[in-house]
Amino acid sequence: MSVRLRFAPSPTGYLHVGGARTALFNWLYARRHGGVFVLRIEDTDVARSSDEMVGGILEGLRWLGLDWDEGPEVDGPHGPYFQSARLDKYRAAAEQLLASGQAVRDEGAIRFTVPEGRTAFTDIVHGPIAFENEHIEPFVILRSDGHPTYHLSVVVDDIDMRITHVVRGDDHISNTPKQVLLYEALGAPTPAFAHVPLIMGPDKKRLSKRHGATSVTEYAKLGYLPDAMVNFLALLGWSPGKGDQEIFSRDELIAAFTLDGISGGNAVFNTEKLDWFNHHYLQQLTDDALRSAIEPLLGAGTPKDPAWWAGVLGLLRPRAKRLTEYVDQLQPFLRGPAEYDAAAVAKHLSAPGVVEHLTALRGVYEATGPFDEATLEAALRALAETRGVKAGTLIHATRIAMTGRMVSPGLFEMLVLLGRPVVVERMDGLIEFLGRG
């Protein structure tokens, strides 16, 4: 029998990293076993659902590359399914339970009658779980307005879509006994359940806005690559059992994925780890691919010369961990400083004599040749020695002249890439600025 899994988000919020990981685990398991991955939008709570959220969820899943397999032709040939288009099915199931005496109508709503006994299931992650039915309140399955509650719609759909494995957040464990009772009342076999522990912030509290970005689309905007996010999320609470290996391609993840490898303990979302993955995947990109990823973020007026790109990317690659860092660190190569950072000026340019030292260095850089790293560095150090100042003084001043800031990629490599005329012009700019002060 082929496996069938689903991701069933409620469009009452964006695609949170926790939801994305749930989707990923379902997708990996379906792909591992050549099964089916269904996307089902649980939008029966009309007041709290919105098209905007649906759009954000689809965008997030597409960005991650988690493709879904079947459904009515809605947004592409494979669905997703929308529960709001399936209300008849839930009403029919409620009527069926009413007719078989397993539900009662009260004040317009239809309420499930909880039988006596206990309800047990074996969770793949947490092991055997049992609830005494006397602790389960008779619960509403169809509201008086004809809309199903979550418990009814989720079970009716999981039966109808022949879902074999329900993989979802462990905040749903307490909902599971009610759902198991509904499967039984509707005469259907229960699927296997795997409840995945929550994702925590570094302070061990449930991951939330307080910890920074939480939606997948925000991470896309921050300059993370989908492959890095997928690799990072896959290892958040799941262990492939392959020793120290952490870098896994999608195919490797698919080949290694098991539900048994999901840990029962909460996973901690560590942004530095995500950055580490992202740096790795950025390093794997060719210059052309990296350039195509960066260019849309830079806007118009970007140089087209491949040699220019090779030089600049070569300089930035070792350090940049996000696409947005490339964008930021590329600025000095595109234009001179719009302003000089006040803290940088105060820290490095306020000592007496700095303008004179900088002017002297400008004279050297205008004349000295060849304009390469070794020559520029040696010339700066020799001048510092002659003038009795630290080389750092000249280095800081030159960096501020080029970038307006205190930090930049390697100064001498940058000077070479900028070229002599630009270097001299920017030194003049800072000299003039300091002279005015």
By residue count, the chain amounts to 437
- In this complex, which beta carbon is closest to ligand GLU, that of residue 188 or of residue 297? 188
- In this complex, which beta carbon is closest to ligand GLU, that of residue 168 or of residue 426? 168
Least distance CB 43 / ligand GLU (angstroms): 9
Quick check: 168 binds ligand GLU (CB under 6 A)? yes
Least distance CB 10 / ligand GLU (angstroms): 4
- In this complex, which beta carbon is closest to ligand GLU, that of residue 175 or of residue 368? 175
Least distance CB 51 / ligand GLU (angstroms): 17
What does the block give as tokens for 250? Answer: 């999608």
* φ, ψ at 108 (rounded to 5°): 95, -35
The sign of the torsion formed by the CA atoms of 334, 339, 343, 349 equals positive
Distance CA 178, CA 246 (A): 38
Q: 205, 209, 242, 304: which is the annotated catalytic residue?
A: 209
Distance CA 79, CA 36 (A): 13
Indicate which single residue of 114, 154, 315, 394 sits in contact with ligand GLU (rule: CB under 6 A).
Answer: 154
Least distance CB 256 / ligand GLU (angstroms): 24
Determine how many CB atoms are found less than 10 A away from the CB of residue 200: 18
Using CB under 6 A as the binding criterion, the count of chain residues that bind ligand GLU stands at 7
Mark whether 205 is an active-site residue.
no
Least distance CB 295 / ligand GLU (angstroms): 36
Q: How far is CA 311 from CA 34, 317, 325, 418, in A?
A: 44, 10, 16, 10
Q: Which stretch binds ligand GLU (CB under 6 A): 4-12, 46-54, 195-203, 236-244?
A: 4-12
Closest CA to 236 of 11, 8, 24, 7: 24
Helix (H, G, I), strand (E, B) or coil at 168: strand
* Sites for ligand GLU among residues 30-49 (CB under 6 A): 42
Q: What is the CA radius of gyration of the chain?
A: 30
Distance CA 437, CA 431 (A): 10
Distance CA 412, CA 414 (A): 5
- In this complex, which beta carbon is closest to ligand GLU, that of residue 174 or of residue 270? 174
Distance CA 198, CA 206 (A): 7
Least distance CB 161 / ligand GLU (angstroms): 12
Least distance CB 37 / ligand GLU (angstroms): 13
* φ, ψ at 39 (rounded to 5°): -110, 125
- In this complex, which beta carbon is closest to ligand GLU, that of residue 121 or of residue 277? 121
Quick check: 191 binds ligand GLU (CB under 6 A)? no
* Sites for ligand GLU among residues 5-24 (CB under 6 A): 8-10
Quick check: 206 binds ligand GLU (CB under 6 A)? no
- In this complex, which beta carbon is closest to ligand GLU, that of residue 156 or of residue 294? 156
* Sites for ligand GLU among residues 65-94 (CB under 6 A): none
- In this complex, which beta carbon is closest to ligand GLU, that of residue 25 or of residue 63? 25
What does the block give as tokens for 405? Answer: 């800031």
- In this complex, which beta carbon is closest to ligand GLU, that of residue 10 or of residue 331? 10
* Sites for ligand GLU among residues 215-254 (CB under 6 A): none
Least distance CB 182 / ligand GLU (angstroms): 12
Cα-to-chain-centroid distance, residue 79: 23
Distance CA 44, CA 154 (A): 10
Distance CA 400, CA 410 (A): 13
Report whether 420 contacts 364 (CB < 8 A). no
Report whether 141 contacts 44 (CB < 8 A). no
Indicate which single residue of 172, 250, 280, 317 sits in contact with ligand GLU (rule: CB under 6 A).
Answer: 172
With residue 253 as reference, give the H or E element that holds it.
Answer: helix 250-256
Closest CA to 41 of 6, 66, 65: 6
Report whether 233 contacts 20 (CB < 8 A). yes
Residues in contact with ligand GLU by CB under 6 A are 8-10, 42, 154, 168, 172
- Give the residue numbers marked as catalytic: 209
